[in-house]
Structure 1
Amino acid sequence: MSFRPVLSFLEEDKIGTIQPHNDALLITLRIGDYDVKRVMVDGGSATEVMYLDLCKGLGLKPKDLMPYNSPLMSFDRKLVILIGMITLPIQTGPKIVEVNFIVVDTYSPYTAIVGRPWLYSLGAVASSLHQKVKFSSRDQVLEIHGCQPTARQCVVAAVSHRLNAEFSASAEENL
């Protein structure tokens, strides 16, 4: 009979976080052979997304990507330019999970987004409130801690980018 630890979040899991907050859960993951920062965990996402800058940073070439033709909408409800799809390993502690990333060419303060497929294949539970991802490995519960300061920097970067884009569009209209 095997023992499987219970994945739960307690009040003490908030220790070390700034409370109250509404920060996104940003973590560092080992994707391929690289530790990748600014990966957003989004339990509402049905797919994993990799932004083009990370794709280039990992040394991937267009020939490494498989075609992918399904539409994808961004947070601001605009269609996103899809470059392709690639399967890469994500190592989380002793577990390695193969993940299909859709590579997109659009601005994001994040390097990647992992969603339900990654969480489910890892058997993980994420809590943005507690700024943690928990999963069992053998007979123990392992944790990945989020980085609230980085999440807040990403919000500032996203707002700044949007304001700059709006200002540029407005300036072009006035020409």
Structure 2
Amino acid sequence: MSHPLERAEGNSVSTWPDISHLSVSQPELINALRQMGQHVKWPPKMRAPHSFRNPDLWCEFHRDHGHKTEEYVREYLREFLSEKAKNLLSKETPRKYAETKPASPPRQDRVIHVISGDEMSFTAKEQEKVLAPHHDALVVSLTVANCLVRRILVDNGSSSNIIFQAAYQDLGLDESAKTGKPTPLMGFSGEVNQTAGEVVLPVYAEGINMSTKFLLVDYQSSYNMILGRQWIHDMGAVPSTLHQMVKFPTPWGIKVVRGDQENSRSCYQTTLKGKTKVL
């Protein structure tokens, strides 16, 4: 081992590298060096008898008393940072990282959701029945209050379920069915509309007949109803606009309600022509 000090113009000058900038403790540094195995040359065991060693000084290298750890950490770190050591590590590192390189992500053929122990998946094969490419909203037809209602928008961007006044009248419902006071409802573009109350209607979907609360809105729209997150969450449903379907668990397994792309596009075109407004 080379001596840690050299003489220069009569003064003692340290040749040990400065390690104060390292963000690891000495024990951590030594442990890292130990893991490098034979690449690090370890100092020989202390030869001095225990009676001649200073019990107040501890060396982590030797795991014994007699001198400070710094005396060996700096010396061997200097040797470790030499050009020879750097060249050795540069040859070893590429091979090591090549062995531990993460695998590329696999191709996704389906998306799986698990709710209450039931698995709901959307497969690439299910897209074969969809008119693609598309950016269509999910518009379905369901039985509401014993009437088949088309142009129902399934929208997880809406916090509430909404029925528009025209659809409410077409269902032949009495005004007495309405409850609640008018409440403000913020639209997509930020405008505020007052609701005309609320109503609870049965919504039937593949064997599930769920009482659903709707906000009644006297507003012209290309849709008859909007099923928002309240209905989606109560059903435990997972909608997919890409696959144009909504799936939900039932006592008889996972059921599917498919979207109607023709109605979806018709509603979109009607809105673009300005005949109706987007709530």
TM value normalised by structure 2: 0.55
Residue of structure 1 in register with 2:129 after alignment = 16
- 1:9 and 1:86 map into 2 onto residues whose CA distance is 33
Aligned partner (choices 89, 98, 116) of residue 202 of structure 2: 89
How many residue pairs get matched?
162
How far apart in 2 are the matches of 1:49 and 1:132? 20
Q: How far apart are 1:4 and its partner, in Å?
A: 4.0
Return 5+ residue gaps in structure 1 as ranges: 166-175
Partner of 2:95: none
Give the aligned partner of residue 233 of structure 2. 120
- Runs of 4+ in structure 1 off by over 4 angstroms are none
Local SS of the residue matching 1:15? helix
**Residue in 2 that maps onto 1:52:** 165
Matched, 1:132 2:236: no
**SS of equivalent to 1:97:** strand
Which amino acid in the other structure matches residue 112 of structure 1?
M
Q: Which residue of 1 aligns with 2:184?
A: 71
Please, what is the CA RMSD of the aligned residues? 1.8
Q: Which has the larger radius of gyration?
A: 2
The unaligned stretches of length 5 or more in structure 2 are 1-115
Contact 1:81–1:106 (CA under 8 A) maintained in structure 2: no
Matched, 1:110 2:223: yes
**Aligned AA (2:215):** I
Matched residue type, 2:227: V
Q: 1:151 aligns with which of 244, 248, 264?
A: 264
What code does the residue aligned with 1:90 have? V
| Contact 1:48/1:115, CA 8 A, preserved across alignment | yes
Q: Displacement of 1:13 after TM fit?
A: 1.8
Q: Taking every aligned residue pair, what percent have the same amino acid on both sides?
A: 29
**How much does 1:61 deviate?**
2.5
Shift of 1:62: 2.2
Aligned counterparts of 2:194 and 2:273: Cα–Cα separation in 1 = 22
The corresponding residue for 1:101 is 214
Shift of 1:67: 2.2
Q: Write the letter of the residue equivalent to 1:101.
A: F
Q: TM-score when scaled to structure 1?
A: 0.86
Higher relative contact order (CA 8 A, sep 6+): 1
8 Å CA contact retained: 2:183, 2:194:
no
